[in-house]
Structure 1
Amino acid sequence: MEDAGERSNYCENTSDCEEDRGSDNDFETSKLGTKEYWEEMYQKELETFKDIGDVGEIWFGEESMSRVLGWMQTAKIPENAAILDIGTGNGAFLVELAKHGFKNLTGVDYSPASVELARNVLQTECLSDITVKEVDFLNCNRELKEFDVCIDKGTFDAISLNPNNSKEAKKLYVQALRDALKENGFFSITSCNWTKEQLLQRFNEGFEFVQELPTPRFQFGGKTGNSVTALIFKRVH
């Protein structure tokens, strides 16, 4: 499968330069925001993994994982911290977290094929002590709670494209995130659809901005922008 690099293939609604992206308005709806799309995609990746052992695409590329792992090291996140990977996909980030010594890991996804794929990948890596669950993050009824760190690489982007009331879905996401995190817990988000300013606006209630992680910048037509935004927040009252 083609490498996503620093942009996932569902970033179709972003403009070329950061300053051209407007306020926190809804994007046009897209099949990329539907459960059916992701189930079909992960079913194909699952079949490919069983056939040839290819784990599939790493959203935003390996650099996106290294970026967050670097922050975790600098922030001295303890190895026993409870970490939640929201929209775990093929579980690739769970594997990297485990390789870096983190021991209390959970991945969730609403796609059954994704969960089966992630479990197969983890089994291949002999990582049997990582929890992967089929959970709709927007409707988990506080099943997910007491996490020290929550990580999102593209899930909020996909939710933003949901044809079925994306405004409500985004509100549900923020509430579910507040419920999942401990007070003073951290939230790491990587997005290609939202700018720093838009994410600060979206997560301005119950969260405190900590820092922006550096991402590649580009120039086009005399303008400079980022193709990816990566931010860290802290859960507060």
Structure 2
Amino acid sequence: MADARRDSRGCGNCSDSEEDKCSDDDFETSKLGTKEYWEEAYQKELESFKDIGDVGEIWFGEESMNRVLRWMQKAKIPEDAAILDIGTGNGAFLVELAKHGYRNLTGIDYSPASVELARNVLQAEGLSDVTVKETDFLNCGGELAGFDVCIDKGTFDAISLNPDNNKEGKKLYVHTLKDALKDSGIFAITSCNWTKEQLLERFCEGFEFVQELPTPSFQFGGKTGNSVAALIFKRVH
């Protein structure tokens, strides 16, 4: 849960030791960070979709997709931009992107059940030209490159919860993201585990902070904060 901290605009370049210090104000690990958990969850959603056509949960809700889509349209992201949905889940974001006219779309997930579900959902929507791959973002061997936009809605959160070496996982995530994006490419992240300040610190090397997207706020103890952080970054060298 986010708290009301200072409004930081970035921290410049940070070394590995500084990165560890600034971004590992961690929380308890969880089964939500394991592949087994998500494979079981998406297997159930896949069965439900086949039975009754229910696409399952939209992570962070529909508004989380809409706020990113509104920003993309305002920023005039071209309809032919190469867009990567990191941890696509049921493919709901891919569907919305396609409905908004974007036509160079790729979704990845390390869960085979997620990939099958997303393909089924896209097929039901008549969207046969969207690519969905079974790919582990942290172990893709340089397969991901040349994207104009990368979108993450909860995947970095899940990696941060992994009981097995999540510190290394977070570093690998940043390195893979750098390789996946073109120079000046856009990264949009939505997180419920990390504050704006923590995300600025984690992505301080190789990225430039562009904008914070408005999310629902709350007040507690005389302070105002947000339970979800949504930030836009630009890839820089």
TM-score, length-normalised on structure 1?
0.91
- Structure 1 residue 18: deviation in Å? 4.4
Residue 120 (1) aligns with residue 130 (2): no
1:183-221: per-residue Cα shift (whole Å, max 9, x none)? 000000000000111000000110000000011111123
Amino acid at match of 1:69: L
Q: 1:109 to 1:18 in 2, by over 3 A?
A: farther
Aligned length, in residue pairs: 221
Aligned to 2:185: 185
- Structure 1 residue 40: deviation in Å? 0.3
Contact kept? 2:90, 2:114, Cα under 8 Å: yes
| 3-state SS of 1:215 partner | coil
- Structure 1 residue 23: deviation in Å? 5.5
Distance 1:60 1:30 in 2: 18
Aligned to 2:87: 87
| 3-state SS of 2:23 partner | coil
1:43-67: per-residue Cα shift (whole Å, max 9, x none)? 0000000000000000111001110
Contact kept? 1:91, 1:107, Cα under 8 Å: yes
TM-score, length-normalised on structure 2?
0.91
Q: Structure 2: which 5+ runs fail to align?
A: 6-20
- Structure 1 residue 143: deviation in Å? 0.2
Aligned to 1:24: 23
Segments of 4+ in structure 1 off by > 6 A? none
Residue 38 (1) aligns with residue 38 (2): yes
1:125-144: per-residue Cα shift (whole Å, max 9, x none)? 00000000000000101101
Contact kept? 1:79, 1:102, Cα under 8 Å: yes
- % identity of equivalent residues: 82
Contact kept? 2:178, 2:235, Cα under 8 Å: yes
Distance 2:88 2:73 in 1: 21
Contact kept? 2:22, 2:201, Cα under 8 Å: no
| 3-state SS of 1:209 partner | strand
Aligned to 1:224: 224
Aligned to 1:58: 58
Contact kept? 2:22, 2:202, Cα under 8 Å: no
Residue 104 (1) aligns with residue 104 (2): yes
Contact kept? 2:33, 2:161, Cα under 8 Å: yes
- Structure 1 residue 222: deviation in Å? 2.1
Distance 1:204 1:172 in 2: 14
Amino acid at match of 2:177: L
Distance 2:78 2:87 in 1: 22
Contact kept? 2:34, 2:162, Cα under 8 Å: yes
Alignment of 1:125-204 (within 5 A): 125-204=125-204
Distance 1:164 1:83 in 2: 29
Distance 2:221 2:48 in 1: 40
Contact kept? 1:18, 1:195, Cα under 8 Å: no
Amino acid at match of 1:34: T
1:61-116: per-residue Cα shift (whole Å, max 9, x none)? 10011100000001100000000000000000000000000000000000000000
RMSD of aligned residue pairs (Cα, Å)? 1.2
Aligned to 1:11: none
Distance 1:89 1:115 in 2: 7
- Structure 1 residue 224: deviation in Å? 1.2
Contact kept? 1:215, 1:226, Cα under 8 Å: yes
Amino acid at match of 2:222: G
Higher relative contact order (CA 8 A, sep 6+): 2
Distance 1:226 1:172 in 2: 27
| 3-state SS of 2:58 partner | coil
